[in-house]
Structure 1
Amino acid sequence: MGTLRDAMSYPLMRAGMIMLLLALLISAAGFYRVDKSYSSSGILGEGMHYLGDDKFETEYLYHNRTLTLSSTNATFSLLQGTEMYNYTLVNGSMTLHPEMRPVIYVFNGQVNYTYEARAIDYPYAVYSIGAFVLMLVGIVMSFLGYTQFLRDVKEGKK
């Protein structure tokens, strides 16, 4: 009866196992994550204001947003998709956690704002597609090498 050492002496079996190991390492690298952040602040006058960076908001995943607003006397609306929230600030401040990129329409007065967004990026996730292809090829090559090994064992060559 053949052993694992005998089976690994077949080139197809060895190449397939190396490909499977490589695919495992490449797919594990896809879990590497990088924290990204964006912040801006300023004063908003009357009119419509889009806060944040469009590229940052669409490029990264799992946003955690914080919007701090303060004013001496202002009336404004915060637009979130199809929802609109109306606020009046008189010598006060408020902290909000919007679910998407905030749009503020100031009706009167001025609003001081600080907007911070944090996100997660997986820069090596795209390589998992290659790891999947490598895994499929490795499985086929290992199977072919193993069947060749079993055929040789049956015929008594090993």
Structure 2
Amino acid sequence: MGTLRDAMGYPLLRAGLIMLILALLISIAGFYRVDKSYSASGTLGEGMHYLGDDKFESEYLYHNRTLVLYSSNANLSLLQGTEMTNYTLVNREITLHPTERPVIYVFNGSVNYTYSATAVDYPYAVYSLFAFVLMLVGVVMAFLGYSQFLRDVKEGKK
């Protein structure tokens, strides 16, 4: 009967197992996450204002947004997708957690704002495609090497 040491003598089986281990390590590296953040503050006059950064909002995942608005006397609307919410601020500060990139339309007055967003980035996730291909090739090679080993054991060569 053949042993594991005998089986590892077959180049196809050994190469297939090495590819499988390498594919596993590459796919584990894809779970490495990096927290990213963006913040802006300033004063908004009358008119429509798009807050946030286009690149940041579209490039990263799982946003957590916080918008703080303060005014001594202003009327404004907060647009999020198809939803519009009206606010009247008179010496008042409000803290909002928008689900999308906020758009603010100030009707009159000026509004001080602080906008911050945090997100998650997985910089090595793109290598998981390579790991998948490596895994497929490794499985095929390991299977061919194992079947060659079993054939040799059956014939009594090992």
Give the TM-score of the pair, scaled to structure 1: 1.00
Matched, 1:154 2:136: no
Q: Does 1:6 align with 2:6?
A: yes
Mapped pair 1:98 → 2:98: yes
Separation of aligned partners in 2, 1:109 and 1:125 = 46
Once residues 38 and 62 of structure 2 are traced to their aligned partners in structure 1, the CA distance between those partners, rounded to angstroms, is 13
Structure 2 match to 1:130: 130
2:47 is the counterpart of 1:44: no
Give ranges in structure 2 of 5+ residues lacking alignment: none
Report the Cα distance in structure 1 between the residues aligned to 2:99 and 2:124, rounded to whole angstroms: 26
Give the drift of 1:135: 0.3
Aligned-pair CA distance for 1:101 = 0.2
Q: Measure how far apart 1:12 and its partner are.
A: 0.3
Deviation at 1:44, TM superposition (A): 0.2
**Corresponding residue SS for 2:18:** helix
Q: CA RMSD in A?
A: 0.3
1:99 is paired with a residue of what secondary structure? coil
Q: Which residue in 2 is equivalent to 1:116?
A: 116
Report the Cα offset of residue 5 of structure 1: 1.0
Match of 1:74 in 2: 74
Shift of 1:148: 0.3
Q: Which amino acid aligns with 1:35?
A: D
- In the TM superposition, what whole-angstrom CA distance separates every residue of 1:38-73 from its partner, at most 9, and x where no partner exists? 000000000000000000000000000000000000
Mapped to 2, the partners of 1:44 and 1:108 lie a distance apart of: 10
Q: Percent identity?
A: 82
**Aligned partners of 2:100 and 2:81: how far apart in 1?**
8
Distance 1:96 1:108 in 2: 20
Aligned to 1:32: 32
Structure 1: state its 5+ residue gaps.
none
Looking at structure 2, the residues matched to 39 and 5 of structure 1 have their Cα atoms a distance apart, in angstroms, of 59
Moved over 4 A (4+): none
Count of equivalent residues: 158
